[in-house]
Chains A and B, each alone.
Chain A
Amino acid sequence: MSERLINIIIDSFWKILLPGLKMTVPLTVISFAIAMVIAVLCALAQFADIKPLKPVIRFYIWVIRGTPLLVQLYVLFYGLPNIGITLDPFPSAVIVFAINEGAYASETIRAALESVPSGQIEAGYCVGMSYFQIMRRIVLPQAFRTAFPTLGNELISMVKDTSLAANITVMEMFMATQRIVARTYEPLALYIEVGVIYLIFSTVLTRLQRYGEKRLAFYGRR
């Protein structure tokens, strides 16, 4: 390996990692947080069988899960200006990732809610608790434990998916790499380098996920 290439790899490490910390991480964290709010509300509305909301939520999930994330990004960022709605790249990306992940996560959480034995709810009623109290104290904590590993996987996927935001000019890690490649003509080394940085991010999250699962396992297996 030439000295030039080694220097390029070392120089570019921070130039890629920095946009990673400044863009990829906030984009992931903000989008995932909003997605969780959307997901819990959609899952609860379906679980509680709120009749008028159900078809609306099913339609939302159907459309979002049935179309590519990249297409959703393009529609929002490049399409909406046609009808006079123009958004900056970063908020556009947050909106699309939150809506997209919200659809997937709501199905994860709904399945977890339904996996809580119905006897738990009946026991709650029998000690005098209200539906709201039972959901908050008994059902949601148990469902969260069930959903946690899957949600962790979805978060890891999302970190990687944020590279798609390069397509709508968000200056995240992948786009930063593309720029350096354009200047240095070293695509093999640099694309592997950014891949390794994504791998580091994913590894940290995988560790956190494992730690979280251990913490949540405190009340043993069913």
Chain B
Amino acid sequence: MMLEVNHVRKSFDSAEVLKDVSISVEKGEVVSILGPSGSGKTTLLRCMNFLERADSGEMIFDGRRIDLAAASDREIAAIRKKTAFVFQNYNLFLNKNALQNVTEGLVIARKMDRAKADEIGRQALAKVGMLDWKDSYPSQLSGGQQQRVAIARAIAVDPEIIYFDEPTSALDPELTGEVLDVMRTLADDGMTMLVVTHEMGFARNVSSKVCFMEGGVVVESGTPEKIFGDPEKDRTREFLGILEKEQ
């Protein structure tokens, strides 16, 4: 098992958002987390990269055990250098152009030589089809283009896993496709991905495992065939049924 988190708990004030959640990802796997708003799926992802501090829980990453509630700054920095995060609203650095957005983490955080970083940055932008826009600032790009640059920024650091937090939720349907295409390419290349999403098509066709979360717990998880074809729990069936009717 490449990455797993066990018994994660997190409360905001009195609201318990995560109630003993465990999840695991194998190398090369694409795991989709589905669930209604407020189910805790985004919070889980944020706890795994320490953007939120879990109240309790453990992480096992590359065979090393880390206490999610008590991890030191050094442990957190080490984990962040092996992971990447794609946000719902892109969060590209507004004062940097597309190429600089991709190289910033290489040059500044990893002290990579500028020329080498630029080369990696160009490759990453080419991979997401954004090389022609390398000198554009985020304000000059559409949402879908910004998200593709954000994905280039994520793959440039050669992470062991990329977390995606609803990467297409801020995009209109026309732009969703270009981002999902890029994600599908990454999956085909064997990138390990943990994806919080409402895109049923992506979850069903691209992921190797699907987790359904609700009310701060994992209700059910399994292969997409099982979750979409013959879920065990009524609640899963109900949620997927509703979504499929909407589509």
Q: B184 at interface (Cβ–Cβ under 8 A)?
A: no
Q: Which residues of A contact B87 (CB under 8 A)?
A: 119, 122-123
Q: Which residues of A contact B96 (CB under 8 A)?
A: 138, 219
Closest to A144 in B: B95
Which one, B50, B77, B93, contacts A120 given CB within 8 A? B93
Cα–Cα distance between A117 and B88 once the two chains are bound (Å) = 14
Which one, A122, A133, A141, contacts B109 given CB within 8 A? A133
Q: B139 at interface (Cβ–Cβ under 8 A)?
A: yes
Which one, A123, A127, A219, A221, contacts B95 given CB within 8 A? A219
Within 123-159 of A, Cβ neighbours of B (below 8 Å) are at 123-130, 133, 137-138, 141-142, 145
Tell whether, in the assembled complex, residue A127 and residue B139 are in contact, meaning their CB atoms are under 8 Å apart: no
Cα–Cα distance between A4 and B121 once the two chains are bound (Å) = 73
Closest to A118 in B: B91
Which one, A127, A128, A133, A222, contacts B94 given CB within 8 A? A222
Q: Which 5 A-B residue pairings sit nearest by Cβ, starting from the closest?
A: A127-B105, A220-B139, A128-B109, A119-B91, A126-B85
Cα–Cα distance between A86 and B85 once the two chains are bound (Å) = 59
Q: How many A residues touch B, CB cutoff 8 Å? A: 23
A-B contact count (CB 8 A): 72
Q: B15 at interface (Cβ–Cβ under 8 A)?
A: no
Tell whether, in the assembled complex, residue A138 and residue B81 are in contact, meaning their CB atoms are under 8 Å apart: no
A-binding residues in B (CB < 8 A): 49-51, 77, 80-81, 83-85, 87, 89, 91-97, 104-105, 108-110, 137-140, 153, 157
Q: Is the interface of A mostly helix, strand, loop or mixed?
A: helix
Interface centre among A124, A138, A145, A219 (most CB of B within 10 A): A219
Q: Which residues of B contact A124 (CB under 8 A)?
A: 93
Closest to B79 in A: A128
Tell whether, in the assembled complex, residue B80 and residue A119 are in contact, meaning their CB atoms are under 8 Å apart: no
Cα–Cα distance between A119 and B80 once the two chains are bound (Å) = 16
Q: Which residues of A contact B104 (CB under 8 A)?
A: 127, 129, 137
Contact (A127, B84) CB under 8 Å given A119-B89, A138-B95 = yes
Closest to A121 in B: B91
Tell whether, in the assembled complex, residue B84 and residue A141 are in contact, meaning their CB atoms are under 8 Å apart: no
Closest CB in chain A relative to B129 CB, distance in Å: 21
Contact (A133, B108) CB under 8 Å given A123-B93, A142-B95 = yes
Cα–Cα distance between A122 and B110 once the two chains are bound (Å) = 17
Contact (A122, B91) CB under 8 Å given A128-B105, A220-B140, A221-B139 = yes
Contact (A123, B80) CB under 8 Å given A129-B104, A133-B108, A222-B139 = no
Closest to B93 in A: A138
Closest CB in chain B relative to A172 CB, distance in Å: 38
Tell whether, in the assembled complex, residue B95 and residue A128 are in contact, meaning their CB atoms are under 8 Å apart: no
Closest CB in chain A relative to B155 CB, distance in Å: 12
Tell whether, in the assembled complex, residue B108 and residue A129 are in contact, meaning their CB atoms are under 8 Å apart: yes
Tell whether, in the assembled complex, residue B81 and residue A128 are in contact, meaning their CB atoms are under 8 Å apart: yes
Closest to B100 in A: A137
Q: Which residues of B contact A220 (CB under 8 A)?
A: 137, 139-140
Tell whether, in the assembled complex, residue A219 and residue B139 are in contact, meaning their CB atoms are under 8 Å apart: yes
A-B contacts besides A117-B91, A130-B109, A219-B137, 15 pairs, CB < 8 Å: A119-B89, A120-B91, A125-B50, A125-B80, A126-B51, A126-B80, A126-B85, A127-B84, A127-B153, A130-B77, A137-B104, A145-B95, A219-B96, A219-B97, A222-B139
Tell whether, in the assembled complex, residue A120 and residue B110 are in contact, meaning their CB atoms are under 8 Å apart: no
Cα–Cα distance between A130 and B73 once the two chains are bound (Å) = 10
Closest CB in chain B relative to A188 CB, distance in Å: 51
Closest to A133 in B: B108
Closest CB in chain A relative to B136 CB, distance in Å: 9
Contact (A128, B139) CB under 8 Å given A120-B93, A122-B51, A123-B93 = no
Q: Which residues of B contact A138 (CB under 8 A)?
A: 93, 95-96
Tell whether, in the assembled complex, residue A123 and residue B94 are in contact, meaning their CB atoms are under 8 Å apart: no
Which one, B51, B89, B108, B138, contacts A137 given CB within 8 A? B108
